Structure 1
Amino acid sequence: MVLAHVRQGRPAMQEDPIRTRILDAAEELFYGQGIQAIGMDAVRTAAGVTLRRLYQQFPSKGALVEEYLRRRDARWLNDLKEYVEAADVSPRERVLVVFDWLHGWFEEPDFRGCAFINSFGELGATSPEVTDAARHHKERFRHYVADLAGRAGVPADVADQVVLLAEGAMTTAAISGSPRPAARARAAAATLLQGSRVA
């Protein structure tokens, strides 16, 4: 299963189950092995559909990649928000809960880093659509953390520094194969928050 921490099996209302099956298969393959390494035939086989049915749903691999990233963006951020908002802590501590969620994600056996950084690294030079998807995801994440920080009275420049710590933790955890960067980034973020002035 891809990213058990980022829950699956929550398709939009009335979504075609065949489309969902294709996207689930594509996500597991693209995230686990890389977009360029996976062809449409591999997705077809994993999804258990005919090649004709696959192309009816997604007329090109590019269209499938775009939908994979769009869906992952929505689910990743929704799961993060649910986790953070459920924490019964102060607004300032809630900013740090982001790193607790990241730690849980990093511990998943199939964690391979940020799908958007990975896809940009593979295709950003040749695919404006992938570049746009990666930028959109990172901007949404930045806005969410900035909103949490704002509710805690943390200045915007400090919020941006917290985001950079989170982004660095994602990359370092993927390379090191360890969840420890989340805890280290959390400690650094706590120091930043402690030194910032409450509005």
Structure 2
Amino acid sequence: MKKTAPDDIAALPARDRILATAHRLFYREGLRATGIDKLIAESGVTKVTFYRHFPSKNDLIQAYLEQRHRLWMNWFRAALARRDGPAALADAMREWFGADDFRGCAFINGVGEMPEPAVADAARRHKAEMRQAIAERLPEGAGKAEMADMLSLAVDGAIVRAQMDGQADAALAALESMIGKLAG
């Protein structure tokens, strides 16, 4: 996933600086744990500028989730496209789990932190599009939708396990085994 490096943030317009800072902090520290004052300080804007662009923290959270969804889905589709066969899904997850800043799924984390309807709706939309991207890689057939459901559930389980255990290898081995059994 393409990220904006902290050095690059200073050159961005104020709204983009706020959003880039929120993206980094919300993903790393959490939606609830990241305060407005920290977001303002690290993005280098005034409170007036911040609230002009985002009237509330919830508005910023929604913008962050939309951006995170777009960035992650672009990465995910490209990662799947770079690979062939049944291992494509596990290989894509291996790439993501190996990232220095991997902290699980922003949408699963978000729902766990803030079980508010807007966050849950964003998570459902994200997971539906992830499931669709998986389905697009499957062969046509009567069980395609069911297989996509099972595989997306397996991916979510692997994401949570990799995050909780801090060891992606066990999660990836279980995911690869499940994919093999489902495909076989």
How does the TM-score come out when normalised to structure 1? 0.82
Which amino acid is the alignment partner of residue 49 of structure 2? R
Equivalent position to 1:123, from 108, 114, 135: 114
Equivalent position to 2:51, from 52, 55, 80: 55
- Using the TM superposition, name which of 181-190 and 144-153 deviates more: 144-153
Q: What are the within-5 Å matches in structure 2 for residues 150-189 of structure 1?
A: 150-151=139-140, 155-180=144-169, 181-189=171-179
What secondary structure does 2:87 align onto? helix
Conserved in 2, the CA contact under 8 Å of 1:103 and 1:183? no
Distance change >3 Å, CA 20–CA 165, structure 1 → 2:
same
The Cα shift of 1:171 comes to 0.4
Residue aligning to 1:146: 135
Equivalent position to 1:7, from 2, 5, 10: 2
Which amino acid is the alignment partner of residue 177 of structure 2? A
Conserved in 2, the CA contact under 8 Å of 1:83 and 1:101? yes
| Number of residue-to-residue matches in the alignment | 176
Gaps of 5+ in 2: 5-11
Equivalent position to 1:42, from 16, 38, 54: 38
How far does the alpha carbon of each residue in 1:125-177 deviate from its partner, in whole angstroms, 9 at most, with x for none? Answer: xx211111111111111111122114588633222211111110000000000
What secondary structure does 1:77 align onto? helix
Task: Give me the identity figure in percent.
Answer: 35
How far does the alpha carbon of each residue in 1:41-72 deviate from its partner, in whole angstroms, 9 at most, with x for none? Answer: 11011111111111111111000000000000
Which amino acid is the alignment partner of residue 177 of structure 1? G
Q: Once superposed, which parts of structure 1, at least 4 consecutive aligned residues long, lie more than 6 Å away?
A: none
Q: CA RMSD in A?
A: 1.8
What secondary structure does 2:3 align onto? coil
Q: What are the within-5 Å matches in structure 2 for residues 16-27 of structure 1?
A: 17-27=13-23
Residue aligning to 2:105: 114
- Using the TM superposition, name which of 60-69 and 173-182 deviates more: 173-182
What secondary structure does 1:36 align onto? coil
For 1:158 and 1:41, the matched residues in 2 are separated by 45
For 1:32 and 1:83, the matched residues in 2 are separated by 22
Which amino acid is the alignment partner of residue 172 of structure 1? R
Q: What are the within-5 Å matches in structure 2 for residues 67-146 of structure 1?
A: 67-87=63-83, 89=84, 93=85, 95-124=86-115, 127-146=116-135
Distance change >3 Å, CA 17–CA 183, structure 1 → 2:
farther
Which amino acid is the alignment partner of residue 34 of structure 1? G
- Using the TM superposition, name which of 181-190 and 57-66 deviates more: 181-190
How does the TM-score come out when normalised to structure 2? 0.88
Conserved in 2, the CA contact under 8 Å of 1:22 and 1:47? yes
